[in-house]
Every structure is written in C-alpha cells, then in structure tokens.
Amino acid sequence: MKKIISSLLIALCFFNYVAQTTHTVNAGSYYYTPTNLTIQVGDSVIWINDGGLHDVNGDINSITNQPFNNPVTFDSPPTNTAGAVIFAYKFTVPGTYNYDCSVGSHAANGMVGSVIVNAQSAAVLNFTAIMDLTTPSGGSSGKAIMLTANQNISDLSSYGFGSATNGGGSDGEEYTFPNISLNGGQHIVVCRDSLALSTYFDGCLEQFSGSLYPNLIIESSSEPTGNGNDAYELFFNGSVIETFGDITHSYGTGGFTDLGWAYRDSWAWKDTSASNVGNWVYGGDNCSDSSITTQTSDCPFPLCGSTTSSIINSITENSLVYPNPTSNYIYLNAINGNSYSTIYDITGKLMQSTIEKKIDLSSYPNGLYILNIRSNNRVNTYRIIKE
C-alpha cells in the first residue's frame, strides 16, 4: 500500500510541475467521477482506481466498435489495484475526447466519460516589444523579442515564436521556450547578445519601470532574426496565437517605411497605458543608429521610465564633471540626491559602474569614453577624454 501511495504522490508531483493544472478522475464499479470534465490545453488528468479492474480507453468505442475519432488517441492497460494510477495524460491539443472502460461490459453499463479541452487564450502570453536596435557592439546584438505573461505560466515550453522572412509567409516555429515558469506580469526577453543589450539599455533591461518581477533574459545564438521588415508569429502547442506585422507583405515605393509596422534599427512596443492599451507604437526608422544607449538614441525605449537624456559637450568649471580632459580622476559636482554612473568605451563596452563622486580612470587607455549619470529621474551623458 505504501508503494501505491508513493507512486501516486510521485505522479501528482510530476504533473503539477510540468502542467498548468492537474485534474483527478476516480474510477470504480461502472463509473468515472466526474463523468464529464472541462480543462484547458496544457492541463493533465490522472485517473485513480477506486477498486476493480478498469482501464481508460480513448481509441475504439467498446459499445459501437467504431473509433472515437478523438483529436489524439489514447489507451491504457487495465489495473485492478485499488488506489493505483490507471492512466495519466497531458492534453496538448484542444477538442472533445470521449473514452470508456473496455473491460467486460463496463462501458455498456455506463462506465463512459469525456474530457473537453479548451484552447488556451492567447492573452496568457503575448508580444510586448520587437527590437532590431543598432548597438555599439554591432551585428545581431540588438535583436530581441519581449513578451509578457498576463497570468502565471508553469511550463513555458508550450510556447515559441518564429519570424516570417521578407513577407514570404510563415517559416513556422523557430524558437521554443525552455521548460520554465513565469509569474503573471513578468516580462521575458529573448535576445542574441544579453551583455550588449543590457549595456545598451544601461541597466533598464533587467527591471523595467513598474514591473513587479525582474525581467527574465534568455540569450539565444540563433533567434530572433527579424531584420526590421520581418513579421513574427507567437505559437502555443504548434498553433499561431498572435501575429506581429504582415507575414505576406509586399513593398511599395516607400520600402520599409511603406509597411507602417517596420522596425528597422528601431523597436515596436505594445502600449500598456490605459488610454491606448494594446496598440503598437514605433520608435521610427533607423532611430537607434549611432547611439551608445537607448537613452541617447532618437527613440528611448518607452519602458525605461521617464528619464530624459542629454549629451553634454561643453565642459566648464561649473559643470557636473571635471576636469575634462583628464589623466587620472574625474569628479562629479552639483548632483542633488543619489546618483549612479556608468562608463563605456567608444565601442559600447561597459568599463565600470559606481555610485562614487570621484571616479578613477587612471588605468584606462587614452581615448574617448562615454559617462552616463543617472540622478533624479534624469540621465546626463558626457563625452570624457582620457589623455
């Protein structure tokens, strides 16, 4: 008996981990309870034997000898062990599943059941941003997809996405998420170069303003691949549940800008404000070119808060930063409240982050550096010459 209970607990723990919800059906003398069950795609069902010899037959109707024609066929061996798991199954395809007990005359005596599997709402996970940014690291380092979980998701591996290259139609699911969980309200970012993107966002990427949970950042060597005119499809269990852009578009005389939704060297973001929720807004064609961070670009990313950027070139005795040029230290002056500074080289490489007002540059090679000072909800950007 202890072995049976242990097996049941293991099965329950396993399905609670990999499925969104686990449902239990009890089987006994000529009954399944509940007889009819309605669940969501991704949920699991465990049939428990209350006593007697029973199975779970979702293949051939034991009364008519005709196929049930379920979306997916399933069948289990019979068991007569009280308390044992007869069958456990995760439903990944929506539809109505009929089944019975094929042992003796059990089905004829009313031992039949059904499971209705509803397709999961696309609103559970959706696209929030599409990026094809120009970062100082170059290449594909600025390509990223951001999605938001609108409720808890215990197994993200049911979801994936793919791009539709140059309007040539769907290329199918090209990236599948790992088996991880998300909390409702949490953002997930899939990118090609997490370090370059984090540097470009200057610390904003990991925790967008207003987010209850830290953003989950996943680096992929191959996805995303969108080039600013490539639409994206979001998949759930192999079916498209959301599309960004037009997967079969064609150009007019305006090229990229003729599409309306293009994001070349830019971003597209799904507005979350109450007055405009769900509508896509766009940074503008090529708006991130020649920028060091998103705050210094022509299109700061919306979720990086209300910070504003300014590039300061003229250095005086009354400025925030002195001396400039410098051979050793720079000093920050006239800053009200706490500040956070980051220094990058001309390629966009993060050299240091600090809260100090005296910053040591003595070990740096001579050249041009970019200093960002974040203070009082504002970002000031300085060009520093080390000589």
Q: What residue spans define the domains of the chain?
A: 2-118, 122-299, 310-386
Average pLDDT, the chain: 82
How much is the average pLDDT of 152-163?
Answer: 91
CATH number of 2-118: 2.60.40.420
Phi-psi region of 242 (alpha: psi -120 to 50; beta: other; left: phi over 0): beta
User: Which one is the CATH code of 122-299: 2.40.50, 1.20.120, 2.60.120, 2.60.40?
Assistant: 2.60.40
Do residues 261 and 282 lie in contact, with contact meaning Cβ atoms separated by under 8 Å?
A: yes
Best CA proximity match to 27, nearest among 6, 7, 57:
57
pLDDT for the residue numbered 253: 56
pLDDT tens by residue, 253-304: 567 767 888 999 999 998 765 444 467 888 889 999 989 888 888 888 887 7
Q: How many CA atoms lie within 13 A of 14 on its CB side?
A: 11
Do residues 170 and 211 lie in contact, with contact meaning Cβ atoms separated by under 8 Å?
A: no
pTM of the model: 0.53
Strand partners, 107: none
Q: Do domains 2-118 and 310-386 have the same CATH topology?
A: yes
pLDDT tens by residue, 205-241: 766 644 555 678 899 999 999 999 999 999 988 888 8
pLDDT for the residue numbered 347: 58
How much is the average pLDDT of 40-68?
Answer: 94
Of the ranges 217-231, 346-360, 361-375, the best mean pLDDT one: 217-231
How much is the average pLDDT of 16-28?
Answer: 72
Of the ranges 98-102, 260-264, 339-343, the best mean pLDDT one: 98-102
What fold, for 310-386? Immunoglobulin-like (2.60.40)
Do residues 351 and 369 lie in contact, with contact meaning Cβ atoms separated by under 8 Å?
A: yes
If one counts every other C-beta atom within 10 angstroms of the C-beta of residue 215, the result is 17
Give the pLDDT band (50/70/90) at residue 181.
confident
